[in-house]
Each structure stands twice: as C-alpha cells, then as structure tokens.
C-alpha cells in the first residue's frame, strides 16, 4: 500500500461527506487498514479503497446487487466505483454501527442467518460474477506458502497443507463448482460483516461486496459451522444460527435433519483457510500460536491425518 494512499482516500471521503458545504471539524477515522484494503470514516460517510487487482466491472455488478437488495445489504452511496486511488477502485457507503466485539452474548446470529436466507432466495441478475469464497481460500494458502521459511519448515504447516490437498478441486478454486444449488452468496460471512443501519439501532444489514456472487450457499454457513466443529462456537449459538436460517427458508441445507452432508466441504475449506491465515500471521510476527490458532491447526490435523 503506497504511502500517499491515506491522504488521497481521506480527501475522497471528506469531499463525499460534504459535497455542498465546507468540511466540518470532525476528524477522519481509520476503520480498517490491511495490505490490500483501507476503509475510512468521515462524519456519516465511509470510503473503501479495494485491493489493487479488483475488477471494476465485476465490482460494479456487485454494487448493483447490493443496491437492489436494501433489505439485505447496506446500500452503497453510488452504484459504481466513485473514484480511483492508485488504480484502486474506491466505493462510498453510509456509516453503520458494527457488532460489539466486547458483547459476544449479543452476537446477532439470528439476524445474520435470516439475511443470508433472504440473499440465497433472491434470483441473481444476469452477468452476476461468481462468488469468490474458494478464491479467497486459495489466496490464504498462497499467503501461507509465501510466509513459510525454507522448504516449508514449520511444525504447524504440514497439517494445514495436507488438509488443503484433501479438499476437492472446486473448493481450492481449481475447478468449476459441481452441481450443487447455485444462488447469490455473500462469500465471506462473519459477524464483522454486519452493521446496524441507520446507526446505532437500525436493523442489521450485510456489508462487504468484494466476494459477493453466484455459488454454493453452503459456503456462507461454513465459517460458523467450522468454528462450531472446532469447539470455538458454543453449540447453543450454532443452533440459534442454523435454526434461524432454516426458519427463514434458506436453501443451503435441508429443512430438517443432518445439515453436514451439505456443509462438510465448505466447513473444511474455511477451517483450512482460517488456519492458514492465522499461521501466516504468526510466522510473520515470529511468535507462537495462541490457543484459538492452535485449535484450527489441530482441526486441520484431524481432517487429514498423516
């Protein structure tokens, strides 16, 4: 990320927040700053600089989907990238209040499940791009391989690499998705992808359209399913989530009975993706894995024993 991205993006979000008046005295807050993404807030406007390789045409199609589904997604302020900064498309959004990470007991599992079911039941528009979930998992594995020292010499790496190799090709973004139901999918569902709009007490809405597209709806249930299977999500919270999804008519799993035949491959893929991401961060920081990170590595070892 270039050094001048921050001031350029700050200028964009400030101008968008005050199109017809002098700028206010309020400051600009950084909401996210990662190697491939930056998100800033000024007043009630949010600007996001997307990854350098983002396809502007596909992004515009994803923005159009969010625009026509205001009961599911936070609607963008413009239905196309509003500007470019260093060849990165910039999108503009109203501010929504995020999930409180310090109040896990108030996690909106039912709202998340209901929004997903509504999304999955919505017919995709023509030319909607593919959901990027498998591509995101493959990217996490590529980042891990780049981070591994020497010839992959790290004690936690072999279980992750074996579990990845054991996945079917479609889950590794190496082949077309098989004949599962194809619906609109979020592609990267977790609780950080929900906000209340209008803030602070409006209804919950989904955010982040970067991975939105057509694919297997089970992928959107895979992260909570993975965390439940790894013992990181309490059974009662998983039950709340799955029950609300079924009650809302979500098509990713049967109406009753065992959901795991549909969820098994996506949940395993998200376990490997998350384990790879955690391991790459630990290697980069030259630190040991914490308890949560180790639990993902252990789950990978169970999925593909040596």
Nearest to 77 by CA among 35, 30, 45: 45
Inter-residue contact 106 to 100 (CB < 8 Å): yes
Q: Quote the pLDDT of residue 12.
A: 81
Task: Report pTM.
Answer: 0.93
What is the CB neighbour count within 10 angstroms for residue 119?
A: 24
Q: Which residues of the chain have pLDDT under 70?
A: 1-4, 21-23, 150-152, 180-181
End-to-end CA distance of the chain: 39
Q: Quote the pLDDT of residue 16.
A: 83
Nearest to 98 by CA among 181, 194, 169: 194
Give the Cα separation of 61 and 91 in Å (integer).
Answer: 13
Q: Quote the pLDDT of residue 152.
A: 60
Domains, the chain, with CATH or none:
5-95 (3.30.200), 104-303 (3.90.1200.10)
Inter-residue contact 124 to 183 (CB < 8 Å): yes
SS3 156: coil
* Per-residue pLDDT tens digits for 132-189: 999 999 999 999 999 997 656 799 999 999 999 999 999 999 998 887 668 999 999 9
């Amino acid at each position: 990320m270039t050094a001048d991205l921050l001031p350029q993006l700050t200028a964009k979000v400030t101008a968008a927040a005050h199109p017809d008046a002098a700028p206010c005295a309020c400051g600009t807050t950084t909401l996210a700053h990662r190697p491939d993404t930056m998100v800033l807030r000024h007043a009630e406007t949010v600007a996001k600089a997307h990854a350098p390789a983002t396809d502007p045409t596909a992004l515009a199609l994803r923005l159009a989907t969010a625009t026509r589904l205001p009961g599911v997604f936070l609607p963008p302020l413009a239905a196309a990238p509003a500007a470019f900064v260093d060849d990165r498309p910039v999108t503009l959004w109203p501010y929504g209040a995020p999930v409180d990470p310090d109040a896990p007991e108030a996690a909106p599992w039912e709202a998340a499940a209901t929004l997903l079911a509504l999304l999955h039941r919505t017919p995709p528009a023509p030319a909607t791009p593919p959901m990027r979930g498998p591509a995101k998992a493959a990217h996490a594995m590529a980042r891990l391989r780049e981070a591994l020292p020497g010839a992959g010499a790290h004690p936690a790496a072999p279980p992750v690499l074996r579990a990845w190799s054991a996945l079917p090709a479609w889950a590794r973004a190496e082949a077309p998705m098989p004949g599962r139901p194809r619906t609109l999918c979020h592609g990267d569902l977790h609780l950080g992808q929900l906000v209340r709009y209008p803030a602070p007490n409006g209804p919950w809405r989904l955010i982040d359209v970067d991975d939105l597209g057509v694919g297997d709806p089970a992928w959107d249930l895979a992260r909570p399913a993975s965390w439940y299977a790894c013992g990181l999500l309490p059974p009662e919270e998983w039950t709340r989530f799955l029950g609300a999804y079924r009650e809302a008519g979500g098509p990713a799993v049967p109406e009753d009975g065992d959901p795991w035949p549909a969820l098994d491959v996506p949940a395993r893929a998200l376990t490997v993706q998350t384990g790879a991401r955690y391991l790459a961060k630990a290697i980069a920081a030259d630190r040991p894995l914490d308890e949560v990170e180790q639990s993902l590595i252990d789950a990978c070892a169970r999925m593909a024993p040596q």
